[in-house]
């Protein structure tokens, strides 16, 4: 995807995240209306700082992509994920991602319309 359509706001400090971003960039169509904004933050009404890995505009709407890259075997359910190589149990990212989408939607709804140039 050309730099005209791909806007990475902040470079990633993590190699696995850079690899995921490169993968997405290489596999999305490089044509209108596709656009991507990657690695950006915004401040919600309550003052919290929210991080977005990838926000994609497609003909079907916006999609928020949360990058999770870890070595090993993944198993779990709606509540927890277990990575076998690290013996780590973490919260399933779906709930956090849904909350992030709702905050971002609210934030965009309140923003003034962009001026056409």
Number of domains making up the chain? 1
Has residue 16 been placed in a domain?
yes
Range of the domain at 92: 6-110
The answer to whether residue 1 sits within a structural domain is no
The pLDDT tens digits for 37-89 are 999 988 888 888 889 999 999 999 999 998 887 777 778 777 777 777 666 66
| 117 belongs to a structural domain | no
Closest by alpha carbon to 79, among 63, 92, 66, 60? 92
According to DSSP, the residues that pair with 41 across neighbouring strands are: 51
In a domain, 18, yes or no: yes
Cβ atoms of 87 and 70 closer than 8 Å: no
Residue 11 counted as domain residue: yes
Q: What is the pLDDT of residues 78-102, one digit of tens each?
A: 777 777 766 666 666 777 777 887 7
Cα separation, 106 vs 111, whole angstroms: 9
């Amino acid at each position: 995807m050309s730099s005209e359509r791909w806007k990475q706001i902040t470079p990633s400090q993590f190699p696995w995240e850079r690899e995921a971003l490169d993968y997405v960039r290489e596999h999305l169509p490089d044509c209108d209306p596709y656009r991507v904004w990657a690695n950006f933050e915004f401040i919600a009404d309550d003052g919290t700082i929210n991080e977005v890995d990838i926000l994609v505009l497609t003909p079907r709407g916006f999609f928020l992509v949360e990058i999770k890259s870890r070595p090993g075997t993944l198993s779990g359910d709606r509540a927890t994920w277990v990575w076998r190589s690290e013996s780590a149990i973490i919260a399933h990212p779906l709930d956090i991602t849904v909350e992030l989408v709702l905050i971002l939607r609210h934030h965009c709804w309140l923003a003034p319309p962009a001026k056409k140039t």
